[in-house]
Structure formats: structure tokens, C-alpha cells
Structure 1
Amino acid sequence: MTAKNPRNTQPPARPPSARQETANREEYRDCTILHVDMDAFFVAVEQRENPGLLGKPVIVGFPQGRSVVLSASYEARAFGVRSAMPMSAAIRLCPQAVIVEPRHQQYYQMSKVLMELFSSITDKVEPLSVDEAFLDVAGAMRRLGPPLQIAQLIRRRVKAELGVTASVGIAASKFVAKIASARCKPDGLLLIPKADTVAYLHTLPARALWGVGAKTMVVLEGLGVHTVEQIANTPIAVLRRALGASGEHVHRLAWGIDPREVTPVRVEKSIGAEETFAVDTAQEAPLRRELLRLAHRVGGRLRASSYFTRTVALKLRYADFSTISRSRTLAVPVDSAQLIYQTGIQLLEAIGERPMAVRLIGLRAEGLELSGQTSVQLSLERRDDNWRGAEAVIDAVSQKFGNAGVRPASLLEKPGSEEG
């Protein structure tokens, strides 16, 4: 064996020069939008708390009645289980699945930590939901490097600090970045350079575009259109006649045209929860009991997100699927479940005699204000402060032991539910 010649040994790599760093930034200057999407978020939180669930088909949702799947592990998805699917259908597809009842407060608390992590990367963060957001990292490149390096940093931090995984899409536009994150799931990373955007899009099925759902696909298939490339090559006039105003929008997306910027600090407009009963009910007691449970879910989410509400809205859907809503604006902003419940009861009573049985009931907090932007003066009643104190204790217990830790006695039997 011939010994290596020391003279042929490569010298250690030198740090990149300022010119090289500038070149790297120039290469990605039009590709600085990230879409970060957590992988099966609700399931991932539950698996973090209970490692025994790892590797198993897991469904988060209530197994009773007409409730829906809130989240499914990738093992369950292999059986055809999907979010928003009726739980009854999901259980038929995957009877061996482990059913975990949701703990919404845990998920929203984790979401808050996640958004704070994103904000430490860039001040241009646009949350889309509790588990996904757009980030514009153009202003962070000098500090953290090119977008690909920043995306890798985010994924490492999410794994290390939250104990869950995220998929990240990188592109020159929000729409393409979101497509990229969806195509690299789970636990993946995909960068689509601006120069390759149209070519990449034209390899995808039409349903990959935003706004192309099941109904739109039926119309497109009637035109013989099945792919993004076929949409791009269909005259706008034809798409407009077939799809109305959205025809031109879909055509633009097929060519990768999406000029929207990342909009930072998009304030959540409302927080709500709904209950679809297993059997339509005309009785008063189940409605009041469900309003109390929904009020605690909404109140918990408000406090976890540091929001107060000025308006409480009630929603009723009758057996014939007709829907009514009523709302009331409060004199002062609140985050107390008991005060939200009292307002919900007043709205329910104001409806008067109902024409038929109720299929669904919902509560929604609207006109939200961040805690630092509002002055809270609940009332002169000491019991209001007592309620808030008690609910703060419930928050702490629930965070440690889950939603079943402490709750009002009237909610000991919990029917099926779906999140609004």
C-alpha cells in the first residue's frame, strides 16, 4: 500500500469571501419565500407526549357520532384516512387505529411556541393556521445564510425545541412554496428555483393548484383538462366561461404567477368551536351543556393565544341543514369561558322557540384583541375575577395532564365533536 503524499493533501477550506457570500445571496434573491408546514401536527404533539404511539396508525378526533378526523398519522393515512373525513368512515378504513381525543389547548400552546421560533428567524411571518406559516427570509440572509440554509436551520430547531417535524418548501412565490412543502412531506425540504418554476408546475396534476377542488376538477375534466400544463395551454376565455371569475386566477397560477407578498402579523379574526350532535336534539339541556363545553374550548384557546374577545357569536344548524347565527358585542373584552358561556345562553334564549331539532351548535369569539392592546376591566363583580382565576388553574392542569384533568361537572360525559 502506497502512503499518501502529504504534498497532495488539500488545505483546509477557507471561509467564503464577502464576494462569494454575495454571489450566494444573488443566486437566491428571487427565491426567498418559505412555507413551513408541520407534519400531522396534532398527532405529532400526542406522540411527543406518549412515545408509545410512534409508528402506529393514530387518529386524533372523537370516536362518537358524526365527528370528523382532526389529524391522522402517516401510518393511518396509508389506509386512506384523511383530515376532515367522518370518524365513522376512518374507523372502517383503519379499525386498528389508536383513537386519541384532541387536546386543543396543548396544540395552541405549541403553536404559540412555533410562531415565536419563526419570528426569531425573520420579522416577516404570515401564519396560515396553527401549524403552518409563510416566511420571507430575504432580510435574514446576511445573518443566517441563503434560504436553503435557513430552511435547514428551521427544521433542526423545530425538531430540537418542539420535538416534532416540519416540511419546508422554498420558492419565489407563496403559491409555489406551498406546493413544494406539500410535495416533500413528511419531514422533507424542497427548493424550486424561479427559473424552473413553470417546468416543475407543468409536471403536476391540475388538482395541485390552489382553488382547484373536487367541483372544479369535474368542470376541467369536462373540458379534457387534467394537468397544470393543460390548464396553462387552455385559452383564458374558455376557462373564464367554464369557471367564472376563478378561471383567470387558475390560469395565472398554472404559469407560476403569484405576486402576493408575505403579510406579517396577520391577526386572527376569530376563534371558534362547533359540535355536531350524534342525534338531532330538540331538548334544552344538551344544548346548554354543549355551550358550556364549547365556551371552555374557546376561552382556553383565547388565553393560550393571548387574545380577548369583544363579540360572541352563536351558530345553530337545524335538522334540515338551515343555519342561523346571532351575535352580541360586549361592553368590555373578555377571555373567560364562563362569561362567554353566559353570553351564549343569552343568545340562545333570544332565539325563542326553535322550529325543529338542532343538528349542530357553535360558539365563536370575534373582534379579537391581543392582551397587550386592550385594557381589561371585567366588571365590579368579584365572581368574575374568581372565574378567571379558576380557569387559569384549569389551563395549568390541562397543560400538564390534558383536557380531562379538570372540567365542570356537567361535562363529565362528553359527546363527539368537530373543530370549527
Structure 2
Amino acid sequence: MNDGERGTSDGERGTSDGVTTLYVRFLLPPMHEALLPQLIALLGEFTPQVEALPPDAALVDVRGARRYFGRSAVGLAALIRVRALALYGVECAIGAGPGPMLARMAARGAAPGVTRSVPEGEDGVREFLAERPVGELPGIGRATARTLCEYGLDSLGKVGAAPLSTLQRLVGARAGRELSEKARGIDRTRVVPNAAARSLSVERPFPRDELDPFRHRRALLSGAEELGARMRDEDQVCRTLVLTVRYADRSTTTRSKALPEQTAHSTELARTAYRMYDALGLQRARVRALSLRAEGLAPAEHATHQLSFDPTDEKTRRIEEVADRARAKFGPGAIVPGTLAA
């Protein structure tokens, strides 16, 4: 392991002034994604420059925080780790680098209790990247990585040394230029603070390990209803729905599905959750809990709804609006689907 990949312990304070960004991955217990907003708020105590990356990570620009706290980026990472563990019982794996891209790459494979930091200076960055496979570069998909490897460009060192014209012929003009820059450690991305939540989640644990598919579907309906109501209350819509199933042996299965259009419509969320659940084929599975997470949140005013001319769909949306008004006035349990009232 070279110096650029060496783990840095919490007590080690010396790091390059060029290290300005932390990639913090919270090692959340299964089904505890709802802790993320609180952990993001904890990061906000160090700097307002925090970009949440649901379900379990965040980017932190610590340039101002280093001066304010009189600590290096690695020293701040130690403080973040201690506070997250003390307040929420959550450990962190952290990468530190001169920008978001390199911080993400440094965090790859970082163990709890260790901050992996990119070495200082251009030579240190070049050495850090040189032997890494092209597939480790953020934004490089499998198809692009496969194309580059077919031409012998299987490491970032080789990609960085390749002529720009060669890369542009292989992956296109714009993509080739971006690839060349990234392979040489040039990162033009920045931490973009996002005060609004980027995801919402709900969990439905069972009082005992549950075998009954009817009760599983009932829990999914309840979760979809709550998730939709929360998004509508905050004037948000989501692009993706994620289902997580936790079993009796504490193992989990996670599936995600992109929605046909951004929505906060509970009926559509429930239909999508049912499809993902049915695809798992959980015959006789002992399920301990189910959770749903809405990702890719955006303001509802920016979303478009494709008219279906389906009277049933329009009717359910009107009923949903009336139910939301009733819940706002009389409480969340004022109106529930008949299946959940039984």
C-alpha cells in the first residue's frame, strides 16, 4: 500500500492544505435510513457546505471549517466520527481529498475508524490514481469501462497519458475531454448544499416475524399512504421508489424502480411497491420489517402529469385531495384505506 492509500488514524492531524472535501459514508444499521437527516444536521454544525447523498452518505466542503476549528480535514473527520458515534451510535467511513471526486474515491473501501486521504500535490494525486481501474472513476459506466479496456486503457494512469484525440474517438468529444481531465485528477464538480431532503423513508416492522403475504402487502399499502401524504404535505414528488425487506436472520433485500413520472400519488406508489414485492417471490419468507424510500425528490410545481383520461385514476386523485384536507384538520388517522381500517 503506498502513502496515498495509507489509512490515517483519528489522532493524526497532519494533512495537506489542499484537502478540502470529505466524503462521509454513515454505516447505518439495516432499515435505519431515517437517521440520515439528523446526521446531515450534525455535519451542518461544522459547515453549511453539506450535500446529502441518500441513503447513507454526504459530501462536506471543509475549507472554512478548517480555519474556524483550527484542524485539518482529517482532524475534522475524527470529530465527525466521534459525534456521530456518541449521539446516534453510527460509525463512519470517510474519504478526504481536494474535491468531491477524489474524496469519493478515497472513501472506497475505507474501514470504520479510518480516514483515507489523497496525498498532497499533483504528484501525490497522480500516484493515487495511476494503478486504479477505470471503473473506479465516478461517472464511468460499465459500457465505457469495457470499451476503454478493449483498447488497453484499463487503468487511470494509462487513460490520463492517452492523447485526448484518442479518448474522444472512443467515447465522444465531450465525454473524452471529461474523462481525460478526471483521469489526471482535475475535478470541476463542487459540493452543492441541499437544504431540502433528497429522500424520505418509512418503515413497517412486524411484532413477530411475519409469513403472511396479505400482511406484507398491507404494510406496503400503509407505508405508501404515509410516504405519499408526507410528500404532498411538503409539496414534493419523487422519481424512484426503493423497497427494503429485512428477514428473520437480519439479512436484507433491496430493490428500486424508477417511476413512469415523478409523483406523490399514494396509489401509484403502492402499485409500484406491490410489483417489486411480487417480483421477489417471497413464498414462506419470514419477514421482520419492510421499508419504502422515495428518492430523487423535487418540487411538485416542477413536475408534469400525463393525462390518462382514466376516470378511475382521476377519481382516486380527487379522493386523495379530500383525504389530505381531512387529515390536516382532524389528524393523520382521520381517513385511511378500507384495507387498513380492518
TM-score by length of 1: 0.51
DSSP 3-state at the match of 1:121: coil
Pairs within 5 Å for 1:338-417: 340-341=265-266, 366-367=298-299, 383-385=326-328, 388-390=331-333, 410=339
Structure 1 counterpart SS, 2:182: helix
Q: Provide the secondary structure at the position in 1 that maps to 2:189.
A: coil
Q: Does the alignment pair 1:125 with 2:50? A: yes
Q: Give the AA of the match of 1:149.
A: G
Say whether the 8 Å CA contact 1:35–1:177 is kept in structure 2. Answer: yes
Code of the residue aligned with 1:118 in structure 2: it is L
CA gap 1:179/1:301 in 2 versus in 1, 3 angstroms? farther
Give the direction of change, closer, same or farther, for the CA distance of 1:366–1:292 in structure 2 (3 Å limit).
farther
Which runs of 5 or more structure 2 residues have no equivalent in the other structure? 1-12, 203-213, 242-257, 273-277, 281-292, 302-320
Using the TM superposition, give the Cα deviation of residue 190 of structure 1 relative to its aligned residue in structure 2, in angstroms.
1.2
The Cα offsets for residues 302-349 of structure 1, whole Å up to 9 and x where unpaired, read as: 49xxx712558899xxxxxxx983567xxxxx9xxxxx436879x99x
Given that residues 55 and 199 in structure 2 are in contact (C-alpha distance below 8 angstroms), is that contact kept between their aligned partners in structure 1? no
Matched letter for residue 192 of structure 2: T
Would you say the 8 A contact 1:36–1:167 is kept in 2? yes
What's the counterpart of residue 282 of structure 1?
Answer: none
* Number of the residue aligned with 2:170: 242
CA distance in 1, matches of 2:219, 2:132: 44
Larger radius of gyration: 1
Structure 1 distance, partners of 2:99, 2:262, is 38
Q: Which amino acid aligns with 2:191?
A: V
1:215: which partner in 2?
143
Cα root mean square deviation, aligned: 4.3
Give me the TM-score of the superposition, normalised by structure 2.
0.62
Q: Secondary structure, in 3 states, of the residue corresponding to 1:183?
A: coil
8 Å CA contact 1:291, 1:344 repeated in 2: no
Q: Which residue of 2 aligns with 1:325?
A: 260
Equivalent residue, structure 1, for 2:41: 116
Secondary structure of 2:66's aligned partner: helix
The 5 A counterparts of 1:30-179 are 30-39=18-27, 41-43=28-30, 103=31, 106-108=32-34, 110-144=35-69, 145-179=71-105
The one-letter amino acid paired with 2:92 is A
2:106 is aligned to 180
Distance (whole Å) between structure 2 residues aligned to residue 368 and residue 200 of structure 1 = 43
- Gap change, CA 1:29 and 1:342, over 3 Å in 2: same
* Residues 177 and 343 (structure 1), Cα distance of their counterparts in 2 relative to 1, 3 Å cut: closer
Matched, 1:259 2:188: yes
Matched letter for residue 176 of structure 2 = G
Instruction: Mark the runs of 5 or more structure 1 residues left unpaired by the alignment.
Output: 1-23, 44-102, 274-284, 316-322, 329-333, 335-339, 349-357, 370-377, 392-406, 413-420
Cα drift, residue 259 of structure 1: 2.4
Q: Deviations over 1:5-34 (max 9, x none)?
A: xxxxxxxxxxxxxxxxxxx99x74321111
Q: Tell me the percent identity.
A: 24
Distance change (3 Å), C-alpha of 1:327 and 1:226 = closer
Cα shift at 1:113: 1.0
Taking the TM superposition and a 5 Å limit, the aligned residue runs for 1:11-26 are none
d(CA) in 1 for partners of 2:259, 2:81: 44
The 2-side partners of 1:161 and 1:111 are apart by: 13
Give the counterpart of 2:221 among 292, 307, 311: 292
Question: Where has structure 1 moved over 4 Å in runs of 4 or more?
Answer: 268-273, 288-291, 300-303, 310-315, 342-345, 362-366, 378-382
Corresponding letter in the other structure for 2:103:
A
Displacement of 1:164 in angstroms is: 1.7
Deviation at 1:366, TM superposition (A): 4.5
Give the letter aligned to residue 214 of structure 1: R
Separation in structure 1 between the aligned mates of residue 48 and residue 134 of structure 2, nearest angstrom: 34
1:224 aligns to 2:152 (yes or no): yes
Distance verdict in 2 for CA 1:381–1:187, change over 3 Å: closer
Query: For residues 363 and 126 of structure 1, what CA distance do their matches in structure 2 show?
Result: 18
Q: 1:188 offset after TM fit, Å? A: 2.2
